[in-house]
Structure 1
Amino acid sequence: MDSTKCQDHEPSTKLLNPEGPTATIRPIDFTRSPLADDYSSFFAMTIDNLLTPDECARLQAAAGDNWQTLSKGNAFRECQNILVFSPEWASALYDRIVGHLPEEVKALRKGDRLAEIVVGPSHLKASVGARKTVWRIKEANDRLSFLRYQPGHHFKPHCDALYARPGKDERSFLTCQIYLNDAPLSADGKSDGGETRFWTSQVGKRQKPPAMECEPAEEKEAPFLDIKPKMGRALVFQQRMLWHSGQEVKRGEKFTVRLDLMFERHFEKLQPNS
């Protein structure tokens, strides 16, 4: 179990500038990728320049240097992390992120195609009379995971688990991964690893439920789509059934911070033609 906690963290007002940089939004269109057969309607996007280089440096420095080694299941995952539990940091990052998300993913309603894919049928079943389920984005979980990948470190293909807050009707449906430095490049300009790689679906190929974190499947010759680490870039993607890995870092270091974006369940009356 991860247990590192940063006790004396800086106020978020010192970490992020009041006015953020001009960001560039790019939806990931899986229909134009090698993964079209599996993920044509799945949600993922990148936000370039979510953070400035100075903000990335301040955030990383403020997290401290008490790195803990993570090693799971026969080298399934190897990296280092620092956990910071801070509602203030989470709120500041969430405020920067949420304005860049499309409206269709901020309120996931029963009957909507995107909701069926991101939330899943089991979380859309409940209703109160004529009022149907809608999951509304609320905030970022205050558990921030800072990650450092050094040469040889990696995270094999898996699906992120949906986090449920105890005693509350809240779930995480989106992961936000913010890259705090650029991917290292070799002398010939080629990548030295560290990409976040989306893999073809492993549903039907493994016995474990796809909505939970799963063991890796065979990677050989499987289709994939890479997202390269870039300082200040955020990668936001659905947790349910979207297989991905952290590719092995071959040289240098990769720094990221990971957040769960939380949704709260409400019930609303649907329009007659909904």
Structure 2
Amino acid sequence: MDSSAPQGHEPLLDPQGPAVIVTPINFSNSPLAVDYSSFFAMTIDNLLTPDECAKLQSAAGQDWQTLSKGNSFRECQNILVFSPEWASALYNRIVAHLPEDVRALRKGDKGAEIIAGPSHLKASVGARKTVWRIKEANERLSFLRYQPGHHFKPHCDALYARPGKDERSFLTCQIYLNDAPQGPGGEPSGGETRFWTSQVGKRQKDLETMDDTKDKQETPFLDIKPKVGRALVFQQRMLWHSGQEVKHGEKFTVRLDLMFERHFEKL
């Protein structure tokens, strides 16, 4: 399937873009402060207009494939679209709103070490130190459809390394393509992206039961609600999150990795 715009035709997205609202997620002032006080996440409201969301979603087509992983750990549907054109258009919208200290991850910077991890920043060449500079969005776009009962249990996103290149993904961008519909009587529809306190050391079966009432009362979390055109950008390393069960309607998102390239520079 081809989601690209032919050469010479109008761009996929208006270069001007809508007026956005950028909101850093301050974990230090949240129930997750103990684990994530210096971790990075942010929302960008109105990154895409509703019409642009519909255009992007139509690029995926309708060939939905069922994803089911291990004892209902993950249940949803997806379509993978490989499109450098869409990846570039989305990246150009996203990157302008990222903080400078996130666009360039430098050795010796505490925030950079939390996002990239000390092992990725330790190399140096003489007086030149490691700097990972944001480069682009991975051309692999993962479109996701969550229907009632679908969910994704707590996990951390993997850092993607391009074969043969000194590139890594350190950030995930999740773009919500529709508003979560309300259930009967205004009942919440579910589908939140939920950040959990660190689950390091927990067994798989413990993660599978984290939605039990007891766990909801005892385990701290922070929710981001689906909203059409909203982007959620967050570090992949060590930041536990889930896709909460959809109760009513459908939830559509597209997920992409933001890629960084390693440089050696005098700091």
Q: Same fold (TM over 0.5)?
A: yes
Instruction: Please give the TM-score of this superposition, normalised by the length of structure 1.
Output: 0.91
1:53-132 alignment, distance < 5 Å: 53-132=50-129
Q: Does 1:165 align with 2:162?
A: yes
Deviations 1:18-62 (A, max 9, x none): 321000000000011100000000000000000000000111112
Q: Distance in 1 between matches of 2:209 and 2:36?
A: 19
Percent of matched pairs sharing the same residue:
81
CA–CA separation in structure 2 for the residues paired with 1:199 and 1:89: 31
Structure 2 residue corresponding to 1:41, chosen from 30, 34, 38: 38
Match of 2:185, SS state, is coil
Q: How does 1:4-19 map to 2 (within 5 A)?
A: 7-11=1-5, 13=10, 15-19=12-16
Q: Does structure 1 conserve the Cα–Cα contact (< 8 Å) formed by 2:64 and 2:78? A: yes
Name 1:27's counterpart in structure 2: 24
Q: Which amino acid aligns with 1:196?
A: T
Q: Hey, what's the Cα distance between the residues in 2 that align with 1:165 and 1:216?
A: 29
The count of residues paired between Structure 1 and Structure 2 equals 258
- Give, in angstroms, the shift of residue 203 of structure 1: 2.1
**Shift of residue 14 of structure 1?**
5.1
Match of 1:228 in 2: 225
The alignment yields a C-alpha RMSD, in angstroms, of 1.6
For residues 87-117 of structure 1, what are the alpha-carbon distances to aligned partners after superposition, in whole Å with 9 as ceiling and x for unaligned?
Answer: 1110000001000111110000000011110
Partner of 2:254: 257
Q: Secondary structure at the match of 2:183?
A: coil
Residues 42, 118 of structure 1: 8 Å contact kept: yes
d(CA) in 1 for partners of 2:58 and 2:102? 32
The alpha carbon displacement at 1:184 in A equals: 1.9
For residues 152 and 47 of structure 2, what CA distance do their matches in structure 1 show?
Answer: 24
Question: Which residue of the partner structure matches residue 48 of structure 2?
Answer: 51
SS of equivalent residue, structure 1 residue 15: coil
Alignment of 1:155-234 (within 5 A): 155-206=152-203, 216=207, 218-219=209-210, 220=215, 221-234=218-231
After superposition, the Cα gap between the structure-2 partners of 1:225 and 1:96, relative to the gap in structure 1 and judged at 3 Å, is: same
Tell me what 1:144 maps to.
141
Deviation at 1:130, TM superposition (A): 1.0
Give the secondary structure class of the aligned counterpart of 1:104: helix
**8 Å contact 1:53–1:232 — kept in the other structure?**
yes
Offset at residue 63 of structure 1 (A) = 1.2
- List gaps (5 residues or longer) in structure 2: none
Code of the aligned partner of 2:71: N
- Bigger fraction of residues in helix: 2
The aligned amino acid for 1:176 is C
Shift in CA distance, 17/189, structure 1 to aligned 2, threshold 3 Å: same
State the SS of the aligned residue for 1:114.
Answer: helix
Deviates more, 1:186-195 or 1:73-82: 186-195
Q: TM-score, normalised by structure 2?
A: 0.93
Q: Paired residue for 1:211?
A: none
Query: What does the per-residue CA deviation read over 1:193-225, in whole Å, with 9 as the maximum and x for residues that have no partner?
Result: 100000000124359xxxxxx993652121100
Rounded Cα–Cα distance in structure 2 between residues aligned with 1:251 and 1:268: 51
In the aligned structure 2, how far is the partner of 1:217 from the partner of 1:81?
21
Q: What's the secondary structure of 1:34's corresponding residue?
A: coil
Distance 2:150 2:113 in 1: 34
